């Protein structure tokens, strides 16, 4: 019976791990391809959406999903007669109690990383960003060494060095790309100087919308319809996103390990989403893009691609927190390696990405280092089981009840001499039959009732 339960539990963990890496692979690939396409596709109504609004809505979607499932978890343990308002207040108390304030730091870092991802994918090809973004493994290893005091074996340092070399090979064409971008920039100075030239340009580029009669307005229209990518800005934004996301993940793991009480991961996701909304709203939407939003509207430039990107990114943020909580880092790395391969195929097919020898060599090095970095048999996560589950502990009949008359192996033989110390008066049986305390060393005379059920004799009652 125990072996059957052990086998079914092991099969369930294996099925969950397989489904986890499949879902993570779909999420990683879909998010990167969708986000890059949303930044490179022809704009809706001649205007492109603002990335600050997308980051804010991403946190709103994460909050809605996490809050719904967290309320469902609370309702399962509450009586059926409890109203919905009481459930909401209970969840609010769980969210804003204890060490919840500590999650404000990783929440702000996650918001910064999401914003930098939009900048990076606006200036890099999807597969170039996917490969370069694996530098987060190096950043995570360094922060784990500093914050969590986690030892990193020499084998993993070698894999991280291989990863760094691979990313370097992938980024070698940056110089030639910058030269091409400067040539393209010089070509943009030939603006239409008459109505006939403007009509000819507009026929070739139907997504242009004339906003002003100045050269700056025409150039802004052209750059909106056909955005140019700056590889240097994309690389710097990718490195910044790696550092921010890695530090947030390590600090979030430290909060989970140092927490005095066990808290549901859905409640943790609610906490992260709540603290992420404030910087996304006040810094990104209000401070940076408040003037543009007031002029054009919050949802200017939105289409199905933008909404799909927001939803997929929100689901990926929730999945990442679960991988940290349940220590499924091996499944996460397998999903990342598979996603790099699928993103390469998608970039070649959808965005006409040209493969070079340096890129293939660097990508292969990154794939190998990413896949082999986390050994499933040597994890240090607290929630990760090492090997098969140990057999259940069997308890013999003499260990089940200490008051049993059977003799246990640890008890002395009956003929062995033993000394019994006298008990203290405070621990006597007197006074234990009632809720009132007794005097030390004095036995109550009314501890036992009479045959009639009272505490006094009949003669005493007659008197």
From CA 57, how far away is CA 65, in angstroms rounded? 12
From CA 269, how far away is CA 107, in angstroms rounded? 10
pLDDT bracket for residue 446 (50, 70, 90): very low
pLDDT bracket for residue 314 (50, 70, 90): confident
Q: Domain locations in the chain?
A: 19-173+238-373
- Res 281: pLDDT: 93
Residue 183 burial (CB count, 10 A): 9
- Res 54: pLDDT: 95
**Stronger pLDDT, 270 or 434, i.e. the higher one:** 270
- Top-confidence range, 70-79, 109-118, 370-379, 385-394: 109-118
- Res 328: pLDDT: 53
Residue 234 in this model has a pLDDT that exceeds 50: yes
**Stronger pLDDT, 121 or 382, i.e. the higher one:** 121
Place of tokens 């079914």: 8
What's the farthest any 2 CA atoms get from each other in the chain?
128
pLDDT bracket for residue 93 (50, 70, 90): confident
- Res 399: pLDDT: 47
Place of tokens 């019976």: 1
Residue 174 in this model has a pLDDT that exceeds 60: no
Average pLDDT, the chain: 74
**Tens-place pLDDT, residues 332-343:** 778 888 899 999
Residue 368 in this model has a pLDDT that exceeds 80: yes
Query: How large is the average pLDDT for residues 142-169?
Result: 92
Query: How large is the average pLDDT for residues 375-381?
Result: 40
From CA 298, how far away is CA 302, in angstroms rounded? 9
- Res 372: pLDDT: 85
**Tens-place pLDDT, residues 246-293:** 999 999 888 888 877 777 878 888 888 999 999 999 999 999 999 999
Query: Contacts for 301-304 with beta carbons within 8 Å, 24 or more apart?
Result: 301/43, 301/44, 301/45, 301/47, 301/48, 301/49, 301/50, 302/44, 302/49, 303/38, 303/44
**Stronger pLDDT, 158 or 40, i.e. the higher one:** 158
**Stronger pLDDT, 397 or 147, i.e. the higher one:** 147
Query: How large is the average pLDDT for residues 227-240?
Result: 90
**Predicted model pTM:** 0.69
- Res 196: pLDDT: 54
Residue 442 in this model has a pLDDT that exceeds 70: no
Residues pairing with 44 in the sheet = 47
Place of tokens 């052990």: 6
For the ranges 45-59, 284-298, 366-380, which has the lowest average pLDDT? 366-380
- Res 132: pLDDT: 94
Within a 13 Å sphere around the CA of 144, how many CA atoms are in the beta-carbon half? 18
Residue 60 in this model has a pLDDT that exceeds 70: yes
Residue 143 in this model has a pLDDT that exceeds 90: yes
- Res 71: pLDDT: 87
- Res 189: pLDDT: 41
Place of tokens 């810094």: 283
Cα end-to-end span (Å), the chain: 70
Whole-number percent of the chain with pLDDT over 90: 35
From CA 343, how far away is CA 349, in angstroms rounded? 10
For the ranges 35-39, 104-108, 370-374, which has the lowest average pLDDT? 370-374
**Stronger pLDDT, 91 or 227, i.e. the higher one:** 91
């Amino acid at each position: 019976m125990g072996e059957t339960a052990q086998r079914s539990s092991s099969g369930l963990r294996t099925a969950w791990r397989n489904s986890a890496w499949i879902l993570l692979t779909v999420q990683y690939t879909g998010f990167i391809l969708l986000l890059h396409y949303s930044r490179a596709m022809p704009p809706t109504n001649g205007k492109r959406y603002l990335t600050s609004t997308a980051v804010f809505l991403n946190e709103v979607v994460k909050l809605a999903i996490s809050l719904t499932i967290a309320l469902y978890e609370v309702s399962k343990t509450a009586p059926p007669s409890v109203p919905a308002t009481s459930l909401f207040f209970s969840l609010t108390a769980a969210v804003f109690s204890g060490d919840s304030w500590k999650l404000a730091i990783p929440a702000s870092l996650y918001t910064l990383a999401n914003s930098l991802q939009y900048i990076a994918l606006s200036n890099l090809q999807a597969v170039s960003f996917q490969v370069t973004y694996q530098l987060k493994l190096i950043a995570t290893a360094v922060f784990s060494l500093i914050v969590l005091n986690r030892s990193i074996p020499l084998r993993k340092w070698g894999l991280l060095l291989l990863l760094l070399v691979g990313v370097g090979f992938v980024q070698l064409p940056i110089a030639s790309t910058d030269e091409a971008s400067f040539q393209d920039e010089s070509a943009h100075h030939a603006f239409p100087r008459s109505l006939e030239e403007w009509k000819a340009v507009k026929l070739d580029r139907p997504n242009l919308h004339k906003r002003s009669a100045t050269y700056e307005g025409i150039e802004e229209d052209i750059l909106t319809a056909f955005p140019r990518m700056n590889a240097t800005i994309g690389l710097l934004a990718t490195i910044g996103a790696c550092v921010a996301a890695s530090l947030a993940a390590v600090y979030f793991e430290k909060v989970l390990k140092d927490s005095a009480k066990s808290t549901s991961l859905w409640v943790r996701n609610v906490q992260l989403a709540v603290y992420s909304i404030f910087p996304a709203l006040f810094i990104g939407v209000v401070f940076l893009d408040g003037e543009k939003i007031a002029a054009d509207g919050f949802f200017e430039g939105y289409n199905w691609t933008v909404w799909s990107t927001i939803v997929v990114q929100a689901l990926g943020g929730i999945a990442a927190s679960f991988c940290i909580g349940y220590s499924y880092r091996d499944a996460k790395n397998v999903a990342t390696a598979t996603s790099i391969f699928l993103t390469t195929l998608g970039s070649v097919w959808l965005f006409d990405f040209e493969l070079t020898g340096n890129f293939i060599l660097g990508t292969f090095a990154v794939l190998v280092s990413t896949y082999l970095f986390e050994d499933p048999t040597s994890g240090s996560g607290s929630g990760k089981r090492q090997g098969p589950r140990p057999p259940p502990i069997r308890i013999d009949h003499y260990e089940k009840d200490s008051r049993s008359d059977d003799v246990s192996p640890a008890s002395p033989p009956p003929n062995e001499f033993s000394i019994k110390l006298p008990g203290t008066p405070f621990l006597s049986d007197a006074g234990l039959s009632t809720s009132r305390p007794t005097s030390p060393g004095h036995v109550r005379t009314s501890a036992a009732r009479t045959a009639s059920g009272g505490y006094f004799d009949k003669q005493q009652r007659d008197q």
